[in-house]
Structure 1
Amino acid sequence: MSATDSLSIAPLVAVLALVVLAAWGAARLFLATYRYIRATPWQRARMRHAWAVSRRWRRLAPNLGLARVDENTKGRKDWNGKVAKPVVVVPKIRVFPEPWGIRAVIRTIPKVGIAEVEKAGTWLADSWGCQSVEVKRLAAGLVEVRGIVGDPLDSHQPYVWPADDEWVLPLGHNPWGRQLAIPLRQLSGIKVAGLPGYGKTMLMLAWMASLAGRAAVQFAIFDGKTSDARYGDWGEVGSRAMFVVGDNPETANQRLTELVRLLKDRPAALVEERGTHKFWKQGPTPANPLVVVVMDECHNYADTKGLSGKDKQVIESNQRLMQTISKEGRGLGVLGIFGTQKQTGDAIPTSVRDNLEVGVCFPVFTIDAAEAALGSGIRKDEPNDPSVLVDKENNVGVCVVTGVPGLGGRYDRVRIGDLDEDQLPAFVASTSHLRRDVIPAAAPTVVDASTVQADKPAGTSVPTQKTTRRRKSA
C-alpha cells in the first residue's frame, strides 16, 4: 500500500473511531436515563448523589491530599521554552448508589493508598454529605469507601429466625442492611457485654428461642441476676432447660461440675454413636445434642474480690470449670455464652474470655470496657466504638460485634431484630417436651476397705469395697 493510500484511509479510520465513541457514549447515556426513569424518587436521590460525588472528585481530591504531583513532569518546558506546570495525578474513582448511601471504588496511585484515604475519611464524609464513611481494601490497587447517608440503624426490622437446617444464631442488620448471624459449627463460645437495659438478656433469650424447637439442642442456664431462678428472666423459659440455677456460687459449682463431666464422657458417647469423637462431623443429634450453656451476669460466679476461705475456693473452682468448658467444648458440642456488664478480668477469667472467638458488646461507658469485650483493635475503630452509643432513647438493641464471618476480624454495628417480649417465653415453654437431661451419672465412689474395717466392731464382716452411685432424675 502506497503512502497516498494510507493518507486517504486515515480520515476514514478517524471517522469510524468517532462513530464508535459516540455510539458508546449514547448507549451509556440511554442506559443511565432508563435506570433513572425506572427508579423510585428515593433511588433517584441516591443516583444524583453518586453523580455529584463523581463529578466533584477531581477538585476535591487535591484539597484532601489524595492527589500527587507527577515528579517526572517537574521542570519540563513547553514548545516555547517556558517551564510548564507539573501534572497533578488524581486517582480514578467510580461511584455507585446504594440503599444506605454511596459506594466509591478508588484506584490507588503511588503515595495515595488506603492509609491516606482512611486519614481523610472524616473530611470525605463531610464533603460527600454522609453520616460516616468506612474504608476497606478490596484488592491490590483498589480501595472501597462506603458512605452512609443518615443512620440506617434507626430503622427497625423483625428478628430473622434461622431455617431448620441452619446452625446459626441470628443477630440483626448492620448499617449496610445486611443480616448477620453467628455460625455454631466449631464455635468456641460467645462473650456478651453491655450496660443494663440495652438488650443483652433479650438477645440471649432470642438465641434460645431460635434453637428451642430442635430436639438436638439442650440448654443449661445460669441466671446470675436473681437468687431464685424461678422469678428471673430465665425462669419463664426454664421448662425447656436441663436446669436453671440462680446466683448462688455453690449451686453453680455443682452444675458446672456436671457439665465438665459431660465433656469428659462425650468422646466415648460420640464414638459409640457415630464412630468418631468429632462432634461437628455429623452434627448434633437427640442422643448427643448441642448443649448451650448460658451464663447471664457470670461475674457472680467468677469474681473473687473481697472473698476468702471456703467462699474463695468455690469461686476459684468455678473459674477452672468455666475455663474447661470454654477450651474443650468447641469440638464436643458444648457451647458457652458468657454475659456480663463489663468483660474485665475480675468479672470473667481472662483464660475464658480470651478463648471466646465472637464478641458482642452493647453500649458501655468506657473504651476500656469495650476493649475487654471486643479486643484492642476497637480503640482504632472510632465509628464502631460502643462507648459512643450510650443513648438509651435511640440505641437500645444496638451492639458492636466481632468474630463474625464476613468481617475479616473487623467490627460492625448491628441493630437486633425486633422481638415480641410477651410471646417469646410462651413460645420457648411450648417446646418443653423436647427437654432431656443428657448429663451422665456420677462415677462410682470407691471406699477404702481398711478405713471401713477400722470403723467396724470386731467380729463383723468387712466388704472389700463399697460403691455408691448418684443418678439425676430426668
Structure 2
Amino acid sequence: MVRYVRADRGTRVSMRQAVRVRWGWVRLARMAGLTVTDKTPGLLAQITAQKDGPAPAPRVLTPKIKVKPDRFGVIVRARTLPRVGLEEYQKAARFLADAWRCTRVSVLPDGPGRVVIRGVRSDPLTTPTEHRPTGRPPEDVARWELGVDEYAAPVCVSLANVPGVTVAGTPGAGKTSAVNKFVCDLAPSAAVQIVGFDGKVSRASEGDYADLVKRMFAFCGDDLDEANALFKRLVALRRRRSSVIRDVLGVKNMWHVGPSPEWPFTVVLVDEAHTFFREYKGSDAETKRLAALTVENARLVEDLVKKGRSVGILTILISQKTTGDAIPTFVRDVCPVGLSFAQKTVEAAVAALGDDIRNWPDASPVTLQDPAYVGVAVMAMQGRPGFTRTILLPALQRAVSRPRTPFYGAFTQTFT
C-alpha cells in the first residue's frame, strides 16, 4: 500500500494491471496453449492410489510467473515447460497483449528455462522525456546510454574499439539533440576530449553547439579552409599517438588499458558532414580549389576512421542522408555503428542502416515521419538480431553551459 501511494499515476495503473495478470494467469495460460498435460502421476498420487482402483487423473502444469510493474506496463518472468518454450511464448504474444490490454508484448530469453515477457500499456516512443545530466564523470566513458526502446528497456552502445558512428535523419528529427546529450554526459570527465565541426553555421554562437563549445578544445564552422586545417591537426594527433602508444601505455591498443586524463578518449563530431565532403563542379579557379579541399577532407577523415580506433579516436559523422554523395562510401562503410532518425525514402534508410533494413519493414525509419516520433531513432543493436527503435532522451544543455575547471583539465594535452 505504501508503494502504491508513493507511485506516480502510470505506475499505479500498472500495479493494478499486475494484480489482474497474476490472478488471471492460470486461466489465460490454458486458453493460450501455454500449459502441458502430465499423464504420469506424482509420488503422492502413486502412494495413495488403490491397487485395483482407477488411474489418477493427469495433471495440467502451468508455468510459474513473477510480475513486476513500472510506469509503462508489466515485466513478467516465466518458467518454461516441456513443449512450452520460447517459441510457444512468442506465438502467444499477441493473445497476451489483448488479454493484458497492452499496446505490444515482447518475449525474450531470460536464461536457461526462463523467459521474460514485456508488456507495455502506453507507447514509450511517444512519451515526452527529458534527461538531466548529473554533472559527475561517468563510470564508463565508452558507454553511450541512448535512451529506452519501444518496450521501455534501456538502450546503450559500447564505443570501445569503435572507429566511427554515423547519424542520419531528416531536419528536426533529433540528430543534434542526441549528440548534445552524449556531450553533456561525457563533459565532466577529464578522460574525454571533444572537437566539433558544424557545417551549417559560420560561428559556434549561431548553431546548436553554442552552449557546448566551451567544453571543446577546438571548433570550426562551415569554412572549408579552417576545417581542412583542423582535420590535418587531428591526423597529426593520430600519427603522433600511433608512434608513441607503446612507449606511453605499454600496449598497442589504448582500449586494453582504457582512457585517462593523460591519454583521453578523443571524440570528433562532424555535424552536417556533407558540407565538408560535397563534390564541387566547375571550371573556375575557386571551384577547383574548393573541390580539392573537399577531396582532401575526405581523405583525412578516412585516415581518422580507419586508423584512429586503437589510439582512442572516435569520429561521429552526422548528416541528413548518409548516401555516397553526402559521406563517401569508403568512410561511411567503415563505421560499424549507425543510427537513423526519420527518413523519407527507403534508399536513405538503406544507406544509413544497411541493406538488411529491407527485411524489417516495421522498424524502418521511413515509418517515423509522424511528429509524435521526433527523437526516435532506429539502430542495429550489438549482439541482437534485427533493428531496435529507440527514443533518445533530450539533454538539458544548461547543465553544461557553465563548465567547471575539471572540464578543461587536459585540453593542452590532447595535441602534445
Task: Give the TM-score band, short-chain normalised.
Answer: 0.7 to 0.9
Name 2:380's counterpart in structure 1.
Answer: 402
Distance verdict in 2 for CA 1:176–1:132, change over 3 Å? closer
Deviation of 1:292 (Å): 0.8
Q: Select 1:316's aligned residue among 288, 292, 295.
A: 295
CA drift of 1:236 comes to: 4.1
TM-aligned CA distance change 1:285 to 1:92, over 3 Å: closer
Deviations 1:98-128, CA, capped at 9 Å, x for gaps:
4243447585877x98678767755654455
CA contact (8 A) 1:240 1:428 kept: no
AA of the residue aligned to 1:402: A
Structure 1 match to 2:49: none
How many equivalent pairs are there? 382
Measured in 2, the distance between the counterparts of 1:249 and 1:363 equals: 28
Question: Which residue of structure 1 aligns with residue 101 of structure 2?
Answer: 129
Q: Where in structure 1 are there 5+ consecutive unaligned residues?
A: 1-34, 69-88, 441-474
1:216 is aligned to 2:180: no
Q: How big is each residue's C-alpha offset from its partner over 1:159-191, in whole Å with a ceiling of 9 and x where there is no partner?
A: 455744322233223344443333332222222
Evaluate the alpha carbon distance shift between residue 235 and residue 59 of structure 1 in structure 2; reply closer, same or farther with a 3 A threshold. closer
**What is the 5 A alignment of 1:120-199?**
125-126=97-98, 128-137=100-109, 145-153=117-125, 154-159=127-132, 161=134, 163-167=137-141, 168-199=143-174
Letter in 2 for 1:303: R
Q: Distance in 2 between matches of 1:286 and 1:184?
A: 18
Query: How many angstroms apart in 1 are the aligned matches of 2:357 and 2:138?
Result: 34
Once structures 1 and 2 are overlaid, which stretch shifts more, 407-416 or 287-296? 407-416
Write out per-residue CA displacement over residues 378-427 of structure 1, whole angstroms, 9 at most, x where no aligned residue.
Answer: 334455333222232x33333233345xx525433333334324444334
For 2:215, the equivalent position in structure 1 comes to 240
Report whether the alignment pairs 1:346 with 2:325. yes
* TM-score scaled by length of structure 1: 0.67
SS in 1 for 2:402: helix
- CA displacement at 1:336 relative to structure 2: 0.7
Change (3 A) 1:274 1:97: closer
What is the one-letter code of the residue matched to 1:146?
Answer: R
Gaps of 5+ in 2: 37-59
Which residue of 2 is the match for residue 5 of structure 1?
none
| Structure-to-structure mapping, 1:38-77, within 5 angstroms | 41-42=12-13, 43-49=15-21, 51-52=23-24, 54-61=26-33
Residue 238 of structure 1 deviates from its aligned partner by 2.8
Note the C-alpha offset of 1:339: 0.9
Q: Does 1:303 align with 2:255?
A: no
Secondary structure, counterpart of 2:350 in structure 1: helix
User: In the aligned structure 1, how far is the partner of 2:266 from the partner of 2:21?
Assistant: 50
1:274 is matched with which residue?
249
Kept after mapping to 2: 8 A contact 1:235/1:244: no
Greater relative CO (CA pairs within 8 A, separation 6+): 2
Structure 2 contact 277–326 (Cα < 8 Å) conserved: yes
Structure 1 match to 2:316: 337
Question: What is the alpha-carbon distance in structure 2 between the residues aligned to residue 192 and residue 129 of structure 1?
Answer: 35
- Alpha-carbon contact 2:150-2:390 (below 8 Å) kept: yes
Q: Which amino acid aligns with 2:139?
A: D
CA positional deviation for 1:246:
1.5
Displacement of 1:335: 0.7
- Code of the aligned partner of 1:397: G
Q: Which amino acid aligns with 1:408?
A: R
Distance (whole Å) between structure 1 residues aligned to residue 77 and residue 409 of structure 2: 53
Q: Percent identity?
A: 32
CA distance, structure 2, for counterparts of residue 54 and residue 315 of structure 1:
66
Q: Is the 8 A contact 1:268 1:277 kept in 2?
A: no
How far has the Cα of 1:361 moved from its partner? 2.2
Q: Determine if contact 2:106/2:117 at 8 Å carries over to the other structure.
A: yes
